[in-house]
Amino acid sequence: MLIAEDLLYLAERARALEGYPVYPWDRERLWADVLAAQMEARTRAEREAVAEARGALQILDAVERHFVRRD
């Protein structure tokens, strides 16, 4: 099983999340930042980068849901 700090470790190493603050770990704030970037994306490259960040967050959500220990 994983702990919450493991999600931070994974997020820090996800290239798709490099432009977003992941420390301290705050899932809701991170989602809000990514969705705000999606609303502001103007170029195709920006939209693709945001799509990659959304995908990384979806993966982290799945990891949290299935593998993070709840005390």
Does residue 12 carry a pLDDT above 80? yes
Angle among Cα 26, 30, 36 to the nearest 5 degrees reads 150
pLDDT number for residue 34: 97
Question: What is this structure's pTM?
Answer: 0.89
pLDDT number for residue 70: 77
Burial of 38 (0-12, 13-18, 19+ CB in 10 A): middle
pLDDT number for residue 28: 95
Task: Map out the domains of the chain as residue ranges.
Answer: 4-67
Q: 40: which residues sit within 8 A by CB, 6+ positions away? A: 46
pLDDT tens figures, 13-70: 999 999 999 998 899 999 999 999 999 999 999 999 999 999 999 999 999 999 988 7
The whole-angstrom distance between residue 55's C-alpha and the CA centroid of its chain comes to: 8
Mean pLDDT of the chain: 94
Residue 16 and residue 56 in contact, taking contact as beta carbons nearer than 8 Å? yes
